[in-house]
Structure 1
Amino acid sequence: MPRIVAGWRDLPQELRGATVALGNMDGVHLGHLAVLRAAHAARPQAPLAALTFEPHPREHFRPDDPPFRLTLLPAKAEAMGAAGVSIVYALPFDAALAAMPAEAFVEEVLHKGIGAQHLACGTDFAFGHRRGGDTTLLARMAEDRGIGLTVVPPVTDVAGPISSTRIRRLLQDGYPERANEMLGRPWEIRGEVAHGDKLGRVLGWPTANLWLGRHLEPARGVYAVTVALPDGREAKGVANVGRRPTLGGDPETRLEVHLFDFAGDLYGQEIRVRMRHFLRPDARFPDLEALREAIAADAEAARRALG
Structure 2
Amino acid sequence: MANRFGHALVTGGAGFLGSQLCERLLGNGHRVTCVDSFATGRPDNIAHLHGHPRFELVEHDMTRPVEGSAVPTDVDLVFHLASAASPKDYQRLAIDTLRVGALGTEHALRLAANAGARFLLTSTSEVYGDPLEHPQRETYWGNVNPIGPRSVYDEAKRYAEALTMAYLREHGTNVAIARVFNTYGPRMRADDGRVIPAFITQALTGRPLTVAGTGEQTRSVCYVDDTVGGLLSLAYSSLHGPVNIGNPDELSVRRIAEEILSLTGVSVAVTTVEGAVDDPRRRCPDITLARAELGWLPSVGLREGLNRTIAWFARNAVADHVSA
Q: What TM-score does the superposition give when structure 2 sets the normalisation length?
A: 0.32
Q: What TM-score does the superposition give when structure 1 sets the normalisation length?
A: 0.33
Choose between structure 1 and 2: higher strand proportion. 1
Choose between structure 1 and 2: higher helix proportion. 2
Specify the structure having the higher radius of gyration (Cα): 1
